[in-house]
């Protein structure tokens, strides 16, 4: 074909095998900050693997340049040297035919914004003076794309940042035409996946567009192109004509804002985080549409030749459909003849509504053969089971065998499914399940240093062929080790053995562990230290102790093996280290503390069955792209990042969630719209290779008010929670809570301040001194942000981030894992639970809704009516009531001392719970009206739309007065004060602080807790106005210090009864067989060890920067009077800790928190809970939410 433009002069050849200095490589892991690489190094040859495709034949080199080097699955070679000023990037490919037959279209190019510091050099042209390129003479071929401003040489055209890229030009060689055509005239795509730590030269990373690569968006008016040029701040803004009604359904993608700041300065001044929550395989609800499946034709899957963006509804069609402009990188692409269609009078393709990829936000392509490097592997399920004495006596082994057997009929893959087992204690046990055997054959390997795998071909077998022998093995597994007395565990060698068996096929591996692994590779030491609990050094217990598990997890990820971890701890088990296996292999972590088969068995078995039988994608990779000027800065979730932005996901389920942060990569965005595209390439359970593509367009704005109006507070809280967890692990928990507090204050301040006068994109100070800030404080919080302060307060008091000495390290790590992988709805329920009044629920509660139910709150597939919701405050609890609290993971049933004997008898079979062994109390689920309706409510709260398997609810019974159990229950009453730094706010005090923040808070941007002499929450009482004492005869009760684990899944305080053998509690857990549970290693600081010396949990924290009072601090918070409502006004009601004594009151009149709402008032909005008039400028806090 003809060549348009002169090629750049040849430069000095690069050293052999190198394309420039290697870019800094970020540490692999779940949280990464994407950085722009300085140059792209070549990579050594790699053997074919699930991530590496065999190399296609190298095309013949064009005249004037060396042939393209081929190695592995990648095209190697350095990018071309810079050309003369104004030469621009490589020209777009020309259609086949003589050059003269391709007439050029005159066009203008407009200079984009000045590149950020550290980018390409060269001064930009003066503002408002766009660089105009003259059209070439007729017959000279297509003009090259415009060069960057100031004569800066354009960077090499990016061959693609998708799963598979095209071959870039060889060193010192310009691309001189289209690549060799593939089937149907489409350019051939490289099969295989990008090699780890390797980037193709000339490939553009999503969101990392180099300046000056805008293609030709300013071409003459053509059908299908509606460009208008807006001048803003001296630069060119390309006005897109986009149908913003095309959206990705919320179940797949939730964004924190529906628009994007047009400049980095606006984003910095508004302080509004931008991010997205992606759930690519979310199941459809009853009223949701299924995802359209697109079968590519002769042209294959249409993608941008530069950035590898998939075709989507937001591209721009040019030249009557013969070309299209990419909405991510603005590259002009040729439309293959097999995909061509004429445009209508609106510039849209006439077949738009017949092609889902052109009018739907989510589509799924059936991937052709070049998207796979090996045939799809059969679904494989391998189980690694701990059979130590703890696992056997606790009943864990029996429950595991029962759950696996119940799942065999529903495992994905049908006749293709493979299965295998390994057990371990102080040795590794293999099981041959070869068809034709009368019973399984057990092979024991005791040498952990020289571990080998006997009969490897018989350890992973086809389930259909060996079904009888597999069931026989599961039936006899508990009896095989019933007399096992070994207390130790060799988890590391067992994992190595399992890897050897399954590495050729990949799949899902389920690991069940009950004790701390102390033998062989991966041995862990008991590093629990009660003295660091509640201090900044506590975070060290939340980090991995050895890199062995992380390194092993990366090897598992490369072999396409996903690891799900199930822990059953009775003592410290170091979940922080072992959970790295799940984190880097896209697995899950579940913990069942002090496992009791009667209490925990149903929930565990249903969760295991759901994880095994739910729709699962295998051998997946995911990449997120965004338009020029923006980039993805961080990823949150369980995965391993290959390179800079390719998420390696051995398994993806309908529960898998991934979260991203979006930031500006340039000072301004050169378009009126920003596009975000997420693509997931995976193998379905039926062995079909598919690509799910989700594309969302967002408008840009230069107004803070528009940005505030577009905030989705639910998605914002999900992103903020995951950012806080990352900060907590990197620094400490105090910094994480401080960051949440500061971001909440900043967002509310931005919402109240509104739009500000700007000069060159920077906000100018108000012209009337402080009057503007004072006026802003009087403004109400926007409706779409009214619940943001409440959710922020709840996140700071959540078990994952709360302070104090009463959260066990293993418990906190489990909370981190849960919250890091939750969807938007799940995270809101987890941080702000629901509290239902059961004792006075309506007669229709627990029954399906009918036409007369109106707008009553319902749950579940059958629309079960729910009881009225109460505020999360101790003021709502009454001694004659029964309350159900649900956080989406656990359920608590709080029973008052004076509850109705008839209701108590209907639920528990006894008229009162006083002086009763709570370990023997069970909740009745049928046989009477109250029990049946409560059972329907608990199951409805666990039903998810679209999910086949329902998680059995675990209801933890909490008796009033049981300090150990109530301590965990009170954690969830987030509207009350807590006893740690950053948690001493009540909801009313927190709202006053948010609406009237201090002008300059303590170091780190964190506002002080109540009691400090600063503007914000109320201080201590005025002299002579003490806190009211508790009701006469009421016991002062506060949360107990940490103790042994309880049956509710948390680490509870000391039991009311005497400890059992070896220090294990008798109450609330399954009593072990004679002989008791084996003791933990000395000094392990197990769950049953006493709390560290120091401040009681119920005591308030001293104010920041002040010495604690001389005397002992007051203990916990009192309960309200039994059966009585709290006082209607006056000082803070009972249930709040006393403020520190000995402090000087703040200047001015005393501030007293407003009284709480009346007893039993409904919490959710609307209607809101009644609140007295707030202090001037404070405003009333909004009511808690309805779900």
pLDDT at site 14: 42
- The total of other beta-carbon atoms located within 10 Å of residue 1004's CB is 12
Predicted confidence (pLDDT) at residue 895 exceeds the cutoff of 80: yes
Predicted confidence (pLDDT) at residue 316 exceeds the cutoff of 70: yes
pLDDT at site 374: 87
725-768 confidence digits (pLDDT tens) = 999 999 999 999 999 999 999 999 999 988 875 555 555 665 55
pLDDT at site 972: 96
- Determine the Cα–Cα distance for residues 798 and 876; give it in Å rounded to an integer: 20
Handedness of CA 14, 16, 19, 21 (dihedral sign): negative
Predicted confidence (pLDDT) at residue 602 exceeds the cutoff of 60: yes
- Determine the Cα–Cα distance for residues 856 and 868; give it in Å rounded to an integer: 9
pLDDT at site 286: 83
CB 149 within 8 A of CB 113: no
CA 605 vs CA 61, 458, 514, 602, 755: distances in Å: 61, 27, 16, 5, 54
CB 490 within 8 A of CB 400: no
- Determine the Cα–Cα distance for residues 451 and 429; give it in Å rounded to an integer: 11
- Residues near 457 by beta carbon (within 8 Å), at least 6 away in sequence: none
Average of pLDDT values for 864-884? Answer: 94
- Determine the Cα–Cα distance for residues 147 and 142; give it in Å rounded to an integer: 15
- CA terminus-to-terminus distance, the chain: 62
pLDDT at site 148: 39
- Determine the Cα–Cα distance for residues 800 and 983; give it in Å rounded to an integer: 13
Q: With 0.75 as the threshold, say if the pTM is over it.
A: no
- Residues near 664 by beta carbon (within 8 Å), at least 6 away in sequence: 261, 263, 264, 267, 629, 630, 631
pLDDT, greater one: 582 or 1173: 582
Average of pLDDT values for 499-505? Answer: 95
Which candidate, 230, 274, 268, 214, places its Cα nearest to that of 667?
Answer: 268
Average of pLDDT values for 1103-1112? Answer: 38
For 1107, counting Cβ atoms within 10 Å of its Cβ (0-12 exposed, 13-18 middle, 19+ buried), the class is exposed
pLDDT at site 463: 95
Which of 114-118, 395-399, 516-520 is predicted with the least confidence, judged by mean pLDDT?
Answer: 114-118
Strand pairing report for 689-701 and 758-759: unpaired
Predicted confidence (pLDDT) at residue 968 exceeds the cutoff of 80: yes
CB 305 within 8 A of CB 296: no
Tally the C-alpha atoms within 13 A of residue 1059's C-alpha that lie toward its C-beta: 14
Helix (H) or strand (E) holding 277: strand 275-278
pLDDT at site 950: 87
Average of pLDDT values for 415-422? Answer: 95
- The total of other beta-carbon atoms located within 10 Å of residue 418's CB is 22
Predicted confidence (pLDDT) at residue 432 exceeds the cutoff of 60: yes
Q: pLDDT band for position 524 (50/70/90)? A: very high
Predicted confidence (pLDDT) at residue 134 exceeds the cutoff of 60: no
- Determine the Cα–Cα distance for residues 290 and 656; give it in Å rounded to an integer: 18
pLDDT at site 646: 95
Question: Which pair of tokens denotes residue 505?
Answer: 């096929």
pLDDT at site 298: 93
CB 130 within 8 A of CB 110: yes
Q: What percent of the chain stands above pLDDT 90? A: 54
Average model confidence (pLDDT) across the chain: 73
Q: pLDDT band for position 167 (50/70/90)? A: very low
- The total of other beta-carbon atoms located within 10 Å of residue 898's CB is 13
pLDDT at site 561: 97
CB 779 within 8 A of CB 750: no
Predicted confidence (pLDDT) at residue 153 exceeds the cutoff of 70: no
CA 65 vs CA 41, 586, 593: distances in Å: 20, 44, 66
- The total of other beta-carbon atoms located within 10 Å of residue 108's CB is 18
Predicted confidence (pLDDT) at residue 288 exceeds the cutoff of 80: yes
Average of pLDDT values for 1-6? Answer: 37
Which candidate, 574, 577, 578, places its Cα nearest to that of 564?
Answer: 578
Predicted confidence (pLDDT) at residue 694 exceeds the cutoff of 60: yes
- Is the peptide bond between 101 and the residue preceding it cis, with omega within 30 degrees of 0? no
pLDDT at site 776: 62
User: What is the three-class DSSP state of 959?
Assistant: strand
CB 836 within 8 A of CB 867: yes
User: What is the three-class DSSP state of 732?
Assistant: coil
Q: What is the DSSP letter of 716?
A: H
Q: pLDDT band for position 919 (50/70/90)? A: confident
- Determine the Cα–Cα distance for residues 801 and 794; give it in Å rounded to an integer: 10
- Determine the Cα–Cα distance for residues 703 and 756; give it in Å rounded to an integer: 8
pLDDT at site 767: 55
Q: pLDDT band for position 783 (50/70/90)? A: very high
Which candidate, 527, 548, 582, places its Cα nearest to that of 809?
Answer: 527
pLDDT, greater one: 696 or 1008: 696
pLDDT at site 853: 77
CA 589 vs CA 585, 641, 1038: distances in Å: 11, 19, 31
Q: pLDDT band for position 1019 (50/70/90)? A: very low
Average of pLDDT values for 516-532? Answer: 93
pLDDT at site 759: 58
pLDDT at site 449: 87
pLDDT at site 508: 97
228-271 confidence digits (pLDDT tens) = 434 343 445 666 788 999 999 999 999 999 999 999 999 999 99
Q: What is the DSSP letter of 579?
A: T
CB 633 within 8 A of CB 33: yes
Q: pLDDT band for position 565 (50/70/90)? A: very high
- Determine the Cα–Cα distance for residues 806 and 1092; give it in Å rounded to an integer: 10
CA 689 vs CA 50, 293, 600: distances in Å: 13, 12, 38
Predicted confidence (pLDDT) at residue 466 exceeds the cutoff of 80: yes
1108-1151 confidence digits (pLDDT tens) = 333 333 334 444 433 333 333 333 444 444 444 434 334 443 33
CB 586 within 8 A of CB 656: yes
655-676 confidence digits (pLDDT tens) = 999 999 999 999 999 889 999 9
- The total of other beta-carbon atoms located within 10 Å of residue 1085's CB is 22
Average of pLDDT values for 533-546? Answer: 92
Phi, psi of 762 (to 5 degrees): -115, 135
């Amino acid at each position: 074909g003809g060549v348009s433009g002169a090629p750049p002069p040849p430069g000095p050849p690069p050293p052999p095998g190198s394309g420039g200095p290697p870019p800094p490589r970020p540490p692999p892991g779940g949280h990464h900050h994407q950085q722009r690489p300085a140059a792209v190094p070549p990579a050594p040859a790699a053997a074919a693997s699930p991530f590496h495709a065999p190399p296609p034949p190298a095309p013949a080199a064009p005249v004037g340049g060396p042939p393209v080097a081929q190695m592995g699955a990648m095209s190697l070679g350095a990018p071309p040297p810079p050309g003369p000023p104004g030469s621009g990037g490589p020209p777009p490919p020309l259609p086949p035919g003589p050059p003269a037959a391709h007439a050029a279209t005159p066009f203008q190019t407009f200079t984009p914004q000045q590149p950020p510091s550290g980018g390409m050099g060269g001064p930009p042209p003066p503002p408002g003076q766009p660089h105009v390129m003259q059209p070439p003479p007729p017959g000279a071929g297509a003009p090259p794309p415009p060069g960057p401003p100031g004569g800066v040489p354009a960077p090499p055209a990016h061959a693609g940042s998708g799963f598979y890229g095209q071959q870039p030009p060889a060193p010192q060689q310009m691309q001189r035409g289209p690549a060799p055509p593939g089937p149907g005239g489409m350019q051939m795509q490289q099969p295989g996946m990008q090699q780890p730590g390797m980037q193709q030269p000339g490939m553009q990373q999503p969101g990392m567009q180099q300046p000056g690569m805008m293609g030709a968006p300013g071409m003459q008016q053509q059908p299908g192109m509606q460009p208008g040029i807006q001048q803003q701040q001296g630069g060119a803004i390309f006005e897109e004509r986009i149908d913003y009604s095309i959206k990705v359904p919320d179940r797949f993608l939730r964004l924190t804002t529906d628009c994007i700041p047009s400049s980095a300065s606006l984003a910095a001044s508004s302080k509004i985080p931008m991010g997205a929550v992606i759930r690519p395989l979310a199941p459809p609800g009853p009223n949701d549409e299924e995802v359209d499946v697109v079968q590519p034709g002769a042209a294959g899957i249409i993608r941008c030749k530069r950035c590898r963006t998939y075709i989507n509804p937001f591209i721009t069609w040019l030249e009557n459909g013969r070309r299209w402009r990419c909405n991510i990188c603005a590259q002009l692409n040729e439309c293959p003849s097999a995909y061509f269609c004429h445009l209508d009078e609106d510039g849209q393709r006439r077949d738009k509504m017949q092609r889902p990829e052109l009018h739907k936000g989510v589509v799924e392509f059936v991937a052709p053969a070049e998207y796979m490097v090996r045939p799809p592997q059969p679904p494989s399920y391998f189980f690694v089971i701990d059979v130590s004495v703890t696992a056997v006596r606790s009943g864990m082994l029996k429950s595991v065998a029962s759950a696996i057997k119940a799942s065999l009929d529903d495992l994905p893959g049908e006749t293709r499914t493979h299965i295998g087992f390994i057990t371990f204690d102080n040795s590794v046990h293999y099981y041959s399940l070869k068809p034709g055997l009368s019973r399984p054959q057990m092979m024991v390997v005791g040498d952990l240093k020289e571990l080998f795998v006997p009969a490897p071909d018989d350890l992973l077998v086809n389930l259909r062929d060996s079904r009888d022998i597999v069931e026989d093995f599961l039936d006899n597994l508990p009896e095989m080790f019933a007399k096992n007395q070994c207390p130790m565990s060799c988890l590391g060698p067992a994992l190595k053995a399992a890897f050897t068996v399954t590495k050729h096929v990949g799949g899902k591996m389920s690991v069940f562990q009950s004790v701390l692994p102390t033998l062989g590779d991966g041995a862990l030491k008991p590093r629990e230290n009660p003295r660091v609990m509640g201090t900044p050094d506590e975070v060290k217990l939340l980090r991995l102790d050895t890199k062995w598990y992380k390194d092993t997890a990366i090897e598992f990820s490369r072999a396409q093996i996903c690891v799900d971890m199930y822990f059953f701890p009775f003592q410290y088990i170091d979940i922080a280290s072992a959970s790295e296996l799940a984190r880097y292999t896209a697995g899950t972590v579940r913990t069942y503390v002090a496992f009791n088969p009667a209490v925990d068995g149903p929930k565990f078995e249903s969760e295991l069955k759901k994880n095994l039988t739910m729709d699962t994608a295998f051998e997946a990779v995911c990449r997120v792209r965004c338009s020029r000027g923006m980039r993805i800065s961080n990823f949150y979730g369980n995965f391993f990042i290959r390179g800079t932005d390719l998420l390696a996901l051995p398994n993806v389920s309908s529960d898998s969630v991934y979260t991203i942060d979006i930031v500006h990569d340039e000072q301004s965005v050169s378009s009126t719209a920003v596009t975000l595209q997420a693509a997931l390439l995976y193998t379905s359970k039926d062995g079909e290779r598919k690509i799910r593509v989700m594309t969302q367009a967002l408008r840009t704005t230069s107004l803070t008010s528009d940005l505030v109006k577009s905030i989705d507070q639910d998605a914002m809280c999900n992103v903020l929670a995951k950012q806080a967890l990352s900060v907590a692990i990197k620094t400490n928990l105090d910094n994480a809570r401080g960051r949440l507090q500061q971001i909440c204050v900043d967002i509310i301040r931005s919402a109240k301040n509104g739009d500000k006068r700007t000069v060159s994109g920077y906000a100018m100070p108000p012209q009337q001194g402080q009057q503007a800030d004072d006026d802003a404080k009087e403004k109400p919080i926007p409706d779409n942000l009214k619940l943001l302060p409440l959710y922020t307060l709840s996140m700071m008091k959540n078990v994952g981030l709360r302070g104090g000495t009463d959260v066990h390290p293993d418990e906190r790590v489990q909370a981190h894992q849960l919250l890091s992988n939750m969807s938007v709805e799940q995270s809101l329920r987890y941080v702000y639970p629901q509290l239902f009044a059961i004792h006075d629920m309506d007669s229709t509660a627990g029954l399906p809704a009918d036409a007369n139910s109106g707008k009553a709150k319902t749950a579940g597939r059958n629309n079960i009516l729910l009881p009225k919701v109460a505020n999360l405050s101790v003021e709502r609890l009454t001694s004659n009531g029964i309350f159900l609290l649900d956080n989406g993971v656990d359920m608590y049933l709080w029973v008052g001392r004076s509850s109705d004997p008839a209701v108590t008898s209907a639920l528990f079979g006894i008229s009162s719970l006083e002086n009763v062994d709570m370990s023997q109390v069970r909740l009745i689920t049928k046989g009477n009206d109250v029990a049946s309706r409560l059972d329907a409510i608990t199951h409805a709260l666990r039903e998810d739309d679209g999910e086949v398997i329902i998680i059995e609810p675990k209801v933890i019974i909490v008796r009033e007065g049981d300090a150990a159990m109530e301590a965990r229950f009170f954690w969830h009453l987030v509207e009350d004060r807590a006893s740690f730094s950053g948690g001493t706010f009540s909801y009313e005090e927190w709202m006053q602080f948010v609406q009237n923040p201090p002008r300059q808070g303590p170091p780190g941007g964190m506002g002080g807790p109540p009691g400090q002499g600063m503007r914000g929450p109320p201080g201590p009482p005025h002299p002579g106005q003490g806190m009211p004492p508790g009701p006469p005869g009421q016991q002062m009760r506060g949360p107990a210090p940490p103790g042994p684990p309880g049956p509710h899944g948390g680490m509870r305080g000391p039991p009311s009864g005497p400890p059992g053998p070896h220090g294990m509690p008798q109450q609330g857990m399954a009593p072990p067989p004679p002989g008791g549970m084996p003791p933990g290693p000395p000094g392990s600081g197990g769950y049953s060890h006493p709390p560290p010396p120091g401040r009681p949990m119920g005591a308030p924290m001293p104010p920041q920067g002040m010495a604690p009072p001389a005397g002992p601090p007051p203990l916990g918070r009192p309960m309200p009077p039994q059966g009585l409502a709290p006082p209607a006004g006056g000082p803070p009601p009972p249930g709040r800790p006393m403020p520190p004594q000995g402090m000087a009151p703040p200047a001015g009149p005393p501030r007293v928190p407003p009284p709480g709402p009346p007893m039993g008032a409904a919490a959710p909005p609307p209607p809101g809970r009644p609140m007295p008039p707030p202090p001037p400028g404070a405003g009333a806090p909004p009511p808690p939410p309805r779900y």
